[in-house]
Amino acid sequence: MDLDLSTESPSSLETPLLVIPIAEGSGVLDRGPLQALDQHLGGGLTRGPAVDDFKGRAKDRILVYGQEQGPDRVLLLGVGKEEDLDAQALRDVSGRAVREAEGLKITRLALYVSHLAAPSARDWGQAAAEGLALAAWRFQELQAPDEDDAPLVEAATLVVPESGEWGEGVRIGEAFAEGENLARALQARPGNVATPTHLAEEAARIAKEVGLDLTVLGPREMEEEGMKALLSVSRGSDQEPRLMILHHRGGPKGQAPIVLVGKGLTFDAGGISLKPSKGMEDMKYDMSGGAAVLGAMLGVGRAGLPINVTGIVPSSENLINGSATKPGDVIGSRAGKTIEVINTDAEGRLILADALDYATDLTPAAIVDCATLTGACVIALGHHNTAVMGTDDGLIQELEEAGARAGQPCWRLPLGKAYRKQLDSDFADLKNVGGAPGGSITAACFLQEFVGDVPWAHLDIAGTAYGETTRSYLRKGPLGTPTRHLLEWVKARAAGGSA
Ligand code: BES
Ligand code: MN
Ligand code: ZN
């Protein structure tokens, strides 16, 4: 989507659709430029029935047609109580604006925000840009265009009181939305398209586009690295595994990087511990963590955030053939620990183990991994919160705050020795499953074995990365979570605080 800024008065904007978010009882139509707009429209926004129909409540809307000059259509969208109007509400109403344009089969719109009392123009500019650019995205790579489909909204003008701070926010929001839209596209691509080698090609493309350093490991390099856990998963598949390492060097030389690690399991059939076939098609989404890390690296690079960030994506399929790892097999790992594979469907933690161990060699300031790791997480938290677990209270708090800002909230679950004990094995240093009780927690305990003493947190996104959505700016299917969650965290780290 093309996004530009304007500081023009609403009455003189030449646009097919001018969308204006209005809070309940804010009175903004009775003063200033919006009063002038109402007068220009012959009082159409405030006369009798209009006032009855439109009070600014969350679902209120009225559409008024324009004059010869100025906007062709003016659409008021209610956003509820003024005190509830925050960056997330603006992201939502920006998404609604795009959906309204689609309904009218209009491909460009202007969103008026000059009248909003933004506590931070930068944050609000970012949220508006994100809402617009995320809403305008649709996956249509593999289908003939449908006549009845709404046309995609191609361009939006954000009408702001001043372009400085708002403009800076919009620039960040566009970068973050571009990253999240990449993640959504990678997620949407089926397993036969988005293979590990495909993800590596995409990593190369974004590295070139925004200037990241890229290393890609294949099976030979993984052998040399001793990545026996990752290799044990890909042994059952004809597709070669890949491990991508992307560096964004936006910070001072020598600054310890923060590292993002994402599970890039491009199709999870479960291996010998085969999954039931019902709903198995959704296991193409098992690379959502990897997609989010690639998207976040694109966003970090595009925004030029002043910090050193490394993204690591281990990628494999989990299928079955005559060489596939079997329940009871004991495998090695890069860290040297031996693992009894009780269930080959607990494969995510195996590929992450080697990636996390690799990450610790970079002596990072912190590691955050994200993975569609456990079905248990969906039982625990449903689809409305990512689970966060980890070893560092400060880091977890940063992630809780970043998730809230992004509209991708997370909720903490505990770790601890009692849970770790569920992974004790009679034949190896640990086993890869700890039973049904606390399944998301024991999975995280498994990962913890491979992060040494680096401050680390794990996001289980099994319930939040894909599926249905109530957000106006998303569509069902690939949701892009936690791309902007990670980006908000990186942005706060780059700013040197929790801003
Ligand atoms: N990719 C799955 C987790 C998953 C399940 C994500 C449902 C999204 C929706 C993971 O690899 C897996 O299969 N986990 C097992 C672990 C079990 C064998 C301990 C699970 O959750 O059943
Ligand atoms: Mn699995
Ligand atoms: Zn999996």
Reported as a single tens digit per residue, the pLDDT across 160-193 is 999 999 999 999 999 999 999 999 999 999 999 9
Instruction: Say if residue 118's pLDDT is above 80.
Output: yes
15-48: per-residue pLDDT in tens?
A: 999 999 999 999 999 999 999 999 999 999 999 9
Question: Which of 234, 287, 345, 430 to probe ligand 1 with, by most ligand atoms within 8 A of CB?
Answer: 345
Please report the pLDDT score of residue 148 as a whole number: 86
Atom of ligand 1 at shortest distance to CA of 275?
Answer: 13
Q: Is 108 a catalytic residue?
A: no
- Choice among 91, 263, 349, 484 that is catalytic: 349
196-251: per-residue pLDDT in tens?
A: 999 999 999 999 999 999 999 999 999 999 999 999 999 999 999 999 999 999 99
Instruction: Say if residue 149's pLDDT is above 90.
Output: no
Closest ligand to the CA of 464: 1
**How far is 301 from 203, CA to CA, in rounded Å?**
12
Average pLDDT over residues 364-380: 98
- Helix orientation angle between 348-360 and 439-448, rounded to the nearest 10 degrees: 30
Average pLDDT over residues 352-360: 99
**How far is 199 from 266, CA to CA, in rounded Å?**
9
- Strands, E assignment, 250-355: 258-262, 264-268, 308-318, 330-331, 339-340
Pocket of ligand 1 (CB under 6 A): 268, 286, 343, 345-348, 372-376, 378, 433, 439, 462
Domains of the chain and CATH, by start: 2-161 (3.40.220.10), 175-494 (3.40.630.10)
Instruction: Say if residue 124's pLDDT is above 70.
Output: yes
Buried b (16+ CB within 10 A) or exposed e, 200-232: bebbeebbeebebebebbebeebeebbbbbbbb
What are φ and ψ of residue 198, in 5° steps? -65, -45
Q: 482 preceded by cis ω (within 30°)?
A: yes
Instruction: Say if residue 499's pLDDT is above 60.
Output: no
**How far is 491 from 401, CA to CA, in rounded Å?**
12
Alpha carbons within 13 A on the beta-carbon side of 376? 16
Which residues, including other chains, have CB under 8 Å from residue 411's CB and lie 6 or more apart? 381, 385, 386, 387, 388
Please report the pLDDT score of residue 497 as a whole number: 52
Please report the pLDDT score of residue 498 as a whole number: 39
Tell me how far the alpha carbon of residue 8 lies from the centroid of ligand 3, in angstroms.
51
Average pLDDT over residues 328-357: 99
The torsion defined by the Cα of 471, 476, 482 and 484, in degrees rounded to 10, comes to -50
Average pLDDT over residues 482-493: 99
**How far is 142 from 316, CA to CA, in rounded Å?**
23
Which residues, including other chains, have CB under 8 Å from residue 273's CB and lie 6 or more apart? 327, 343, 344, 345
Please report the pLDDT score of residue 247 as a whole number: 98
**How far is 76 from 336, CA to CA, in rounded Å?**
62
251-289: per-residue pLDDT in tens?
A: 999 999 999 999 999 999 999 999 999 999 999 999 999
Q: Is 349 a catalytic residue?
A: yes
Residue 466 tokens, joined: 């894909």
- Which residues lie at CB < 5 A from ion ligand 3? 265, 268, 286, 348
Please report the pLDDT score of residue 117 as a whole number: 94
Which residues, including other chains, have CB under 8 Å from residue 89's CB and lie 6 or more apart? 79, 80
Residue 27 tokens, joined: 């009175």
Atom of ligand 1 at shortest distance to CA of 268?
Answer: 1
Please report the pLDDT score of residue 146 as a whole number: 87
